[in-house]
Structure 1
């Protein structure tokens, strides 16, 4: 069950219980209730449900939980007061609509004050429950992320920066030592950059796009030494892409996947093209295009044979961005495969 379904189930159960309790105690005090009185309680509960949902929409839209505590408390207090006043007025109209309004009683200052206080109390309890749910849910996601990022880091060090990768890189450099010392020094620097970036990767959930791209360029420069003329690399990066932050090693993992499952399997090698653009929805689209062809498209639910890349990438996207972050892989014509990641416009503040 997703969070949206759970939210509505709890809303209906909560405010439905509110209506039932009111009806029960009202029947005890008056002996019996008319159908009009019962429907008035049900209508009032429905109003509470819709108005509390409106409050939730405002909280999420304007990101209240990212505010400083004093500002959050002030805005919540004002919102609860406004909703209490509106609900008290709505209660009068509901009673009027069902023909159960008693002007002598319902318009007394004490009754109106009591209704205001009770409405404020109900909304305050609702907001407290919603805040606790939001806090616990975020805390749970943080725990899951910390566990997953540790697994990803270990898998990355095992699969990407493994002895085989280092062995190939050092062999490529060794061949250049006598032939082209300047190029050999540059290759050693790139190896050092990749190792430093990976081993010093901290607990940040997102990093600057430029930093990730720099590591990818170092990696592809090393692979160009190994593949020589068999590897062609094209970068098509829009300037807007540099304003985004992305999860560390995400683009790197996709590029390595393209090399391992695409270029390495072709006798003549092929092309790697990295394209990053901002879509009309203001989301960042990252595409890695490589020579090759998918025979059976991966399900993205299990690890691909010999690698951890796609499944871990998808799981990180879901943990950080929820349903807004997507990953898909598909054939482009008969000669290329495209892996596309969408990073949503919403900037996460999880560092």
Structure 2
């Protein structure tokens, strides 16, 4: 049943019960009178009409969005005004029916007035509280949707900042291969093409399968091996159950790039990059170890490294909430470790997707 039907049903039933609660005892005591019955029906219609007019006013001027003190003042004025209307209509009608009983009661007006005000207060207060709670709930929902839209916009900005870093070095490496090893140059161009395609798609996709992300990482590492040759060694070990786990696109590539740029490239004899992924308690743990010294390279404070690492943490927070985390630390004297913790997709990420 719709809210509109429920509203009218409650209006009719509520006012009918209220008026009949007074009319039935009167009819049982003094006998059925057609004029009194018509008066009861008129009161039902008048009560419905006045309270519905109040409903139109509160919705038109959006009283429920007002601060509570101002709203309470308007409710009080409404009760006093509507109670006065009901009293002015009913007292003359009742004087015709109960003239002898009312003649000797000079304060009967205030008795009528207080009774109608109490009845109307119950209705108006109930409706206003419901409308206020409903308005607050809708406002909260709109804030959530706005926050989701802002997070999605932030996420797109962060993803766009990750794209340019690898391109220049890769092009320089391929240029060197064109005359020395054309076949290898063709393979490298294909690998760069794959990376660029995934980079472009990263702006349209919030997450990708881990195995797809690792393919991008492999393409990137192979391009870097063109530059560093035997100075770069890498290995990737993946839990088969983790290959379809959803991860942010180009995130691991950024961390690997950071490790090579600020770690391996600064080692005189070259270095290594090792990537492992495991699932524990429905959480994906991706660990990237690379040669280097975190403090001496200051990768977390440098412009390129700082932006990439900061973006990694922010992207994880936007997509997965507090369940995700990222940290980078000096694991051993010559080994830097980047650790990513990724849960399953949060409701926030799903809601963002539904509002694209």
Q: Deviation at 1:258?
A: 0.7
Q: Deviation at 1:196?
A: 3.0
Q: Deviation at 1:264?
A: 1.0
Contact kept in structure 2, 1:263 and 1:292, CA below 8 Å:
yes
Q: Cα–Cα, structure 1 residues 259 and 299, in superposed 2: closer, same or farther, change >3 Å?
A: closer
SS in 1 for 2:289: strand
Q: Cα–Cα, structure 1 residues 198 and 173, in superposed 2: closer, same or farther, change >3 Å?
A: farther
Q: Cα–Cα, structure 1 residues 204 and 294, in superposed 2: closer, same or farther, change >3 Å?
A: same
Alignment of 1:292 onto 2:298: no
Alignment of 1:140 onto 2:150: yes
Alignment of 1:171 onto 2:176: yes
Q: Distance in 1 between matches of 2:193 and 2:217?
A: 13
TM-score (norm 1): 0.59
Q: Deviations over 1:13-55 (max 9, x none)?
A: x99x64896599779999xxxxxxxxxxxxxxxxxxxxxxxxx
- Asked which structure has the greater CA Rg, the reply is 2
Alignment of 1:312 onto 2:306: no
Match of 1:120 in 2: 130
Match of 1:265 in 2: 266
Gaps of 5+ in 2: 1-63, 81-114
SS in 1 for 2:171: helix
Q: Cα–Cα, structure 1 residues 206 and 225, in superposed 2: closer, same or farther, change >3 Å?
A: same
Q: Distance in 2 between matches of 1:218 and 1:295?
A: 29
Gaps of 5+ in 1: 1-13, 31-103
1:160 corresponds, among 166, 169, 173, to 166
Q: Distance in 2 between matches of 1:205 and 1:237?
A: 22
Q: Deviations over 1:258-302 (max 9, x none)?
A: 11111111122222111122232x2322211101221269695x6
After TM superposition, the runs of 4+ consecutive aligned structure 1 residues lying more than 6 A away are: 23-30, 110-115
Corresponding residue pairs, total:
253
Contact kept in structure 2, 1:187 and 1:222, CA below 8 Å:
yes
Q: Cα–Cα, structure 1 residues 242 and 112, in superposed 2: closer, same or farther, change >3 Å?
A: farther
Q: Deviation at 1:328?
A: 1.0
Q: Distance in 2 between matches of 1:305 and 1:136?
A: 30
Q: Deviations over 1:104-132 (max 9, x none)?
A: 99xx9x98776654453233122111112
1:30-69 equivalent positions in 2, closer than 5 A: none
Point out the more displaced range, 262-271 or 198-207: 198-207
Match of 1:247 in 2: 248
Q: Distance in 1 between matches of 2:242 and 2:308?
A: 22
Contact kept in structure 2, 1:169 and 1:226, CA below 8 Å:
no
Match of 1:64 in 2: none
Q: Cα–Cα, structure 1 residues 173 and 342, in superposed 2: closer, same or farther, change >3 Å?
A: farther
TM-score (norm 2): 0.58
Q: Deviation at 1:212?
A: 1.4
Match of 1:328 in 2: 327
Q: Distance in 1 between matches of 2:179 and 2:201?
A: 26
Q: Cα–Cα, structure 1 residues 295 and 233, in superposed 2: closer, same or farther, change >3 Å?
A: same
Q: Deviation at 1:210?
A: 2.1
